[in-house]
């Protein structure tokens, strides 16, 4: 397996956010972590990429323990993160944002080739490459975030709330593109999503998280046909 | 007459930009306010003063040496003082940095006083008093030299921050350190280098102060205030706008000097500063 | 802390305080302390007053005024001008306090509109502007006639200084344990929240500013009476802010004993290093201060409000 999260507890100060969260992601899979607002989805991703540290438990990436590593080392190991919120470098151009995505050694050498590929997938970024990232629309910024994370050609891509603040058509488009990218590169993906139905249609497996604990796990197909899941989670549109 | 005021205002103003840019860089990248900035300027001034007095090194030639020495000092300051600050929760770091660098002022200034007495020192070169005249406007040679140095610094900084990968990573860190670290950028190393550059720039400015004005162990505070005025004019967090803001301050000051005399020059700047704080704290230049 | 403990601790403080007061009152009568010791103690008293006054606005209300020197200097200068124009010394001291309050109206009140670090920087900027102006307008030392020294009594100054300490500590204590004190605490902890409960922070900040600057001006007058010969501009230098500020922070912000303890440490250090060039005591104090900020945020007294509480306020809750 590529990623193994084993019984992590995470605190914000004195407030406990995650209780013994465990999940597995196998090579080449797309796995979705879903649950209601504030359930701990983003917290889980942020802990995996190193922005938060678990108090107990372990996180292993290809066998290597992540919890003592600083954030930039975890990125070096091959984990890319598409963060939630508009975290593009607003004052820098699209081109510069992408260049910075390829900051790490080997990625830097392959930078031009990777960028050309990104331009094929997201032509609008090529159009706007000399513009400041802050002037892009919400959807375009999201595309930039995805692209920037892909510039380092990660083995594992973490995606945090892709659909946040975006209209349904745009979200559909983005998910379609993610599927394309997955098919052509075989990249492993763990995504956290509010728009559960679309995410399940994209994924192989899923985990349900509520109140900081994993309460369910299974194949995406099973979740899609489950009445309970449909009642609880479908029809939750992304909140503005 | 107006030409003289403007010309002098430009020379002084662009230099004010140099004085402020180190402070702006540190604040922009790390969100720390180093109020010992002026004290570091004085130290840079002392280094060049002794290079000149003991080894006959012209101040313009000693600038690279001073900058190198101050860069190393900046790294040391980062390791000893700024790095431990990282353990504080994010909301407290700015305030704590101010308190710590405040203590640092006391230490640095008084160590200098202990070592070199509080007598003011100036670098008096052969060209210190020379002025050249163009269209009836008198331009002191030393100030022209400093103007030239400042332009070199501006260009070098621009190239570094915009054309090199590391420079871009510094800008990225300044904008969003979390996103930067997720891309594999080593934030600690970025901060280390930024601190070094900031202090090096202070050192260069200090050398110019030793040449054009004078330095004394306690002179740092007044230069810090100048730097802060420029920073607030430019808008906290901006780096490129700092030179424009300095220019503006220089011209305003020189114009006021014409009307109320040189002894109140600093007072004008300080009062305008407080007025800006009260009525337009986001600065005069839009981000 | 239970009721019982608090009143026991409180009573203990009173007893200790009472003993100390008696000690300081009677000691000079009983023993011949000599002018050196009396001078040193006077300096200590002044620092305690300044430190407590700064602490009132800074430690209790959370507003860091780093322009304190302006008020001190104005007290010193106005005393000098008035006394040598014929005004009786104690009246001139009161006047010094009033001048400081007037100054507070002129440069203090506007800056109170600023929040956090902007307030701190603004007060420093204006204090520096005043210092430069005073330096230009009053370049020379004050002229002191020889008769001044013939009738000089250090003991009298000692008691004046001590009286000021008593007044200051009493004022601070009364304020802290009053409704005003509660209001200040609320403002310090979260000004926006305080406003939401109907409090008018501006009113309280102004009031404390006045009280603080009055005490500082008073101390300035007393200091002028003690020194006789002063160079006006030197009494406006930031050192007169930094010393009391450091004393308060090192000792423990927002406490009664903190500024006293901090002032003692500061004055002792000042004496120890008085023979070395420059202000070497500031080096040690500076290092002390950095260490306190990094490792001992509650100050030496260890019951002070942690410096952290202020730092959030310093940046105006961004």
Per residue in A59-103, pLDDT (tens digit) is: 999 989 998 899 999 999 999 999 887 789 988 999 999 999 999
Q: CA-to-CA distance for C150 and C196, rounded, in angstroms? A: 60
Residue C25 inside a domain? The answer is no
Q: CA-to-CA distance for C36 and C274, rounded, in angstroms? A: 13
Give pLDDT, residue B25.
Answer: 94
Beta strands in A150-235 (DSSP E): 156-160, 188-193, 205-210, 213-219
Measured at the CA of B17, the angle between CA B16 and CA B19, to 5 degrees, comes to 60
Residue A164 CB neighbour total at 10 angstroms: 18
Contacts of B190 in chain A (CB under 8 A): none
Q: In 3-state terms, what secondary structure has residue B194?
A: helix
| Chain A contact for B168 (CB, 8 A cutoff) | yes
| Chain A contact for B181 (CB, 8 A cutoff) | yes
For an interface test with A, the pick among B182, B186, B285, B286 (most A C-beta atoms closer than 10 Å) comes out as B182
Over the stretch B17-44, which tens digit does the pLDDT of each residue have? 999 999 999 999 998 999 999 999 999 9
Look at the alpha carbons of C130, C132, C135, C137 in this order and tell me if their dihedral is positive or negative. Answer: negative
CB-CB under 8 Å, A87 with B179: yes
- Mean confidence (pLDDT) of chain B: 89
- Helices and strands of chain A, counted as H and E runs: 11, 10
In Å, what is the CA distance from A186 to each residue of A181, A206, A223, B44?
A: 8, 18, 23, 56
Q: CA-to-CA distance for A186 and A182, rounded, in angstroms? A: 5
Band (pLDDT 50/70/90 cuts) for residue C38 is confident
CB C186 within 8 A of CB C194: yes
Selection from A16, A108, A116 nearest residue A56 by Cα: A16
Domain membership of residue C175 as a residue range: 33-237
pLDDT at C307 over 70: no
Q: CA-to-CA distance for B34 and B224, rounded, in angstroms? A: 9
Residue C244 inside a domain? The answer is no
CATH node for B2-279: 1.10.3470
Contacts of B287 in chain A (CB under 8 A): 91
N- to C-terminal Cα separation, chain C? 33
Please state the ipTM of this predicted complex: 0.88
Residue C247 inside a domain? The answer is no
Q: CA-to-CA distance for B149 and A140, rounded, in angstroms? A: 42
Highest mean pLDDT among A12-16, A83-87, B46-50: B46-50
Selection from B91, B93, C284 nearest residue C292 by Cα: C284
Domain boundaries, chain B: 2-279
Q: How many CB pairs under 8 A join B and C?
A: 124
CB B36 within 8 A of CB B218: no
Residue C182 inside a domain? The answer is yes
How many domains, in total, are found in chain C? 1
CB-CB under 8 Å, C278 with B113: yes
At C297, list the tokens: 């945020």
CB B49 within 8 A of CB B31: no
Residue A158 CB neighbour total at 10 angstroms: 25
Residue C263 inside a domain? The answer is no
pLDDT at A112 over 50: yes
Q: CA-to-CA distance for C237 and C249, rounded, in angstroms? A: 19
At A110, list the tokens: 């392959």
CB-CB under 8 Å, C287 with B225: no
Over the stretch B164-187, which tens digit does the pLDDT of each residue have? 999 999 999 999 999 999 999 999
SS3 content of chain A, % helix, strand, coil (to 5): 40, 25, 30
Q: For A48, which residue in chain B has the nearest alpha carbon?
A: B182
Over the stretch A153-204, which tens digit does the pLDDT of each residue have? 899 999 998 888 888 888 888 899 999 999 988 899 999 988 888 888 889 9
Residue C295 inside a domain? The answer is no
The yes-or-no reply on A/C contact (3 CB pairs or more, < 8 Å) is no
Min distance B219 CA to chain A CA atoms (Å): 36
């Amino acid at each position: 397996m590529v990623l193994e999260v084993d019984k992590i507890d995470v605190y914000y100060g004195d407030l406990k956010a995650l209780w013994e969260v465990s999940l597995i992601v196998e090579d080449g899979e797309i796995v979705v972590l879903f649950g209601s607002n504030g359930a701990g989805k983003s917290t889980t991703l942020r802990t995996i990429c190193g922005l938060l540290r678990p108090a107990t438990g372990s996180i292993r990436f290809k066998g290597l323990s992540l919890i003592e590593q600083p954030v930039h080392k975890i990125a070096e190991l091959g984990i890319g993160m598409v963060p939630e919120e508009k975290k593009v470098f607003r004052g820098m151009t699209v081109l510069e944002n992408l260049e910075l995505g390829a900051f790490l050694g080997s990625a830097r050498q392959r930078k031009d080739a990777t960028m050309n590929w990104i331009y094929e997938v997201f032509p609008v970024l090529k159009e706007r490459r000399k513009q400041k990232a802050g002037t892009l629309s919400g959807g375009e910024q999201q595309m930039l975030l995805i692209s920037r994370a892909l510039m380092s050609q990660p083995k594992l891509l973490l995606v945090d709330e892709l659909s946040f603040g975006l209209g349904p058509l745009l979200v559909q488009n983005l998910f379609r593109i993610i599927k394309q990218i997955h098919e052509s590169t075989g990249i492993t993906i763990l995504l956290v999503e509010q728009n559960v139905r679309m995410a399940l249609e994209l994924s192989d497996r899923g985990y349900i998280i509520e109140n900081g604990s994993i309460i369910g796990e299974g194949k995406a197909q099973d979740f899609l046909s489950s009445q309970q899941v449909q009642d609880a989670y479908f029809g939750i549109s992304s909140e503005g | 007459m107006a030409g003289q005021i403007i010309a002098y205002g430009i020379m002084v103003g662009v230099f004010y930009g140099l004085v402020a840019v180190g402070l702006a860089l540190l604040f922009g990248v790390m969100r720390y306010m180093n109020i010992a900035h002026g004290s570091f300027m004085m130290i840079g001034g002392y280094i060049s003063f002794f290079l000149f007095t003991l080894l006959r090194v012209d101040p313009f030639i000693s600038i690279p040496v001073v900058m190198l020495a101050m860069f190393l000092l900046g790294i040391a300051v980062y390791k000893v003082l700024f790095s431990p600050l990282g353990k504080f929760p994010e909301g407290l770091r700015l305030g704590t940095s101010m308190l710590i660098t405040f203590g640092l002022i006391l230490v640095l200034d008084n160590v200098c006083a202990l070592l070199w007495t509080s007598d003011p020192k100036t670098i008096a070169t052969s060209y210190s008093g020379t002025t050249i005249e163009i269209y009836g406007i008198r331009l002191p040679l030393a100030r022209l030299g400093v103007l030239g140095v400042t332009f070199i610094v501006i260009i070098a900084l621009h190239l570094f921050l915009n054309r090199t990968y590391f420079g871009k990573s510094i800008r990225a860190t300044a904008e969003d350190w979390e996103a930067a670290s997720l891309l594999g950028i080593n934030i600690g190393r970025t901060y280390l280098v930024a601190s070094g550059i900031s202090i090096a720039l202070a050192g260069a400015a200090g050398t110019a102060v030793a040449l054009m004005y004078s330095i004394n162990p306690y002179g740092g505070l007044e230069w810090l205030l100048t730097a802060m005025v420029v920073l607030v004019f430019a808008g906290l967090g901006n780096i490129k706008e700092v030179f424009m803001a300095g220019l503006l301050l220089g011209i305003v000051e020189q114009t006021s000097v014409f009307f109320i005399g040189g002894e109140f020059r600093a007072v004008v700047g300080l009062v305008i500063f407080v007025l800006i704080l009260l009525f337009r704290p986001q600065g005069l230049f839009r981000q | 802390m239970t009721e019982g403990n608090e009143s026991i601790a409180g009573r203990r403080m009173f007893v200790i305080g009472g003993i100390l007061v008696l000690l300081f009152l009677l000691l000079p009568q009983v023993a011949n302390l000599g002018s050196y010791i009396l001078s040193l103690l006077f300096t200590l008293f002044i620092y305690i007053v300044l430190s407590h006054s700064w602490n009132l606005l800074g430690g209790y209300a959370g507003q860091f005024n780093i322009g304190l020197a302006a008020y001190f200097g104005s007290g010193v200068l106005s005393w000098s001008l008035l006394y040598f124009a014929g005004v009786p010394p104690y009246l001139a001291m009161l006047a010094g306090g009033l001048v400081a309050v007037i100054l507070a109206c002129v440069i203090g009140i506007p800056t109170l509109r600023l929040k956090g670090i902007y307030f701190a920087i603004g007060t420093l900027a204006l204090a520096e502007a005043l210092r430069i102006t005073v330096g230009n307008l009053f370049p020379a030392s004050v002229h002191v006639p020889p008769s001044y020294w013939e009738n000089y009594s250090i003991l009298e100054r000692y008691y004046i200084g001590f009286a000021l300490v008593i007044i200051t500590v009493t004022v601070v204590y009364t304020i802290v344990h009053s409704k005003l004190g509660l209001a200040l605490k609320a403002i310090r902890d979260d000004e926006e929240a305080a406003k939401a409960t109907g409090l008018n922070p501006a009113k309280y900040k102004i009031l404390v500013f006045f009280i603080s600057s009055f005490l500082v001006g008073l101390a300035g007058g007393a200091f002028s009476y003690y020194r006789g010969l002063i160079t006006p501009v030197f009494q406006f230098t930031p050192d007169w802010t930094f010393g009391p500020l450091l004393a308060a922070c090192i000792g423990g912000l927002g406490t009664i004993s903190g500024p006293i303890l901090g002032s003692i440490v500061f004055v002792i250090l000042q004496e120890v290093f008085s023979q070395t060039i420059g202000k070497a005591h500031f080096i040690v104090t500076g290092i002390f201060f950095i260490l306190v900020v990094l490792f001992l945020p509650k100050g030496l007294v260890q019951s002070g409000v942690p410096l952290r509480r202020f730092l959030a306020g310093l940046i105006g809750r961004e």
